[in-house]
Amino acid sequence: MFIMDGTFIIGFSAAKAHISIAPETVTMETFAKDIKEAGYEATSNLFKIKEDQEVNWGLLRNIIAFNMEEKKGYEKFWR
């Protein structure tokens, strides 16, 4: 889990055959099309990168940058 100034930015969780990435629902909605185009399985709160899939580093960078910008000065942990 990564936080900035006391607010959640993104979480990662490793499993046997995938990595789960959880950037919060608002961010998932914002990047839903990009996540789908990357071929990742997704729910409303997270997406999974399977062990045989390439990591889309640009997408990951954009998701993190979006959360960092959107949550500047945000005083709560979760949205």
State the virtual CA torsion across 61, 44, 35, 27 in degrees, nearest 10.
Answer: -30
- Average pLDDT on 61-75 reads 96
Question: Can you give the pTM of this predicted structure?
Answer: 0.92
In the predicted model, what is the mean pLDDT of residues 8-33?
A: 97
Task: Please report which residue ranges of the chain form alpha helices under DSSP H.
Answer: 25-30, 32-37, 57-70
64: tokens are 């993190």
Question: Distance from first CA to last CA of the chain, Å, rounded?
Answer: 15
Averaged pLDDT for residues 51-74: 97
Taking residues 58-74, report their average pLDDT. Answer: 97
Tens-place pLDDT, residues 21-50: 999 999 999 999 999 999 999 999 999 999
- What pLDDT shows up at residue 74? 92
Ordered by where they begin, the domains of the chain are 2-69 (3.90.1150.200)
